[in-house]
Amino acid sequence: AEQEVPGAGATRLLGAAYRQDAPRRPVAATALLESTDRPSLATVGPNTQKKETLFSNLRADLSAAQLSLSSRLQLTLYQYKTCPFCSKVRAFLDFHALPYQVVEVNPVRRAEIKFSSYRKVPILLAQEGDSLQQLNDSSVIISALKTYLVSGQPLEDIITYYPPMKAVNDQGKEVTEFCNKYWLMLDEKEAQWMYGGKEARTEEMKWRQWADDWLVHLISPNVYRTPTEALASFDYIVKEGNFGTVEGAMAKYMGAAAMYLISKRLKSRHHLQDDVREDLYEAANKWVAAVGKDRPFMGGQKPNLADLNTLPAVSCWAPGVHGQVLQEVRKEESRENGEIPPPWESGRAPWGEQATAGALRIRILVYFFS
Residue 336's pLDDT is what? Answer: 53
Does residue 57 sit in helix, strand or coil? helix
Is pLDDT at 227 greater than 80 in this prediction? yes
Which residue numbers are catalytic? 80, 83, 85-86
User: What is the pLDDT averaged over residues 77-91?
Assistant: 91
For the chain, domain boundaries? 8-368
Comparing 28-32, 127-131, 213-217, 316-320, the range with the smallest average pLDDT is 28-32
Which helix (H) or strand (E) is 133 found in, with range?
A: strand 131-136
CB-based contacts of 43, cutoff 8 Å, min separation 6: none
CB 207 within 8 Å of CB 306? yes
The CB-side HSE value for 271 (13 A sphere, CA atoms) comes to: 1
**Average pLDDT over the chain, rounded to an integer:** 75
Q: What is the pLDDT of residues 169-205, one digit of tens each?
A: 877 888 889 999 999 999 999 999 999 999 999 999 9
Assign 261 a pLDDT band (cuts: 50, 70, 90): very high
Please identify, in words, the CATH class of the domain defined by 8-368. mainly alpha
Q: Which residues of 6-29 are buried (b: 16+ CB within 10 A; e: fewer)?
A: bbeebbbbbbbbbbeebeeeeeee
To the nearest 10 degrees (0 to 180), the angle between helices 198-213 and 305-315 is: 20
Residue 84's pLDDT is what? Answer: 87
Q: What is the pLDDT of residues 47-59, one digit of tens each?
A: 334 434 444 455 6
CB 191 within 8 Å of CB 205? no
User: What is the pLDDT averaged over residues 89-94?
Assistant: 92
CB 79 within 8 Å of CB 89? yes
Distance of CA 254 to the CA centre of its chain: 25
Assign 348 a pLDDT band (cuts: 50, 70, 90): very low
| Complete DSSP assignment for 9-44 | HHHHHHT-EE-----------------S-PPPGGGS
CB 125 within 8 Å of CB 134? yes
CB 152 within 8 Å of CB 65? yes
User: What is the pLDDT averaged over residues 312-323?
Assistant: 53
CB-based contacts of 84, cutoff 8 Å, min separation 6: 16, 17, 216, 219, 312, 313, 314, 316, 317
CB 207 within 8 Å of CB 288? no
Assign 229 a pLDDT band (cuts: 50, 70, 90): confident
Is pLDDT at 222 greater than 60 in this prediction? yes
Higher per-residue pLDDT: 216 or 331? 216
The span from the CA of 165 to the CA of 23, in Å, is 10
Helix and strand numbers (H, E) in the chain are: 15, 8
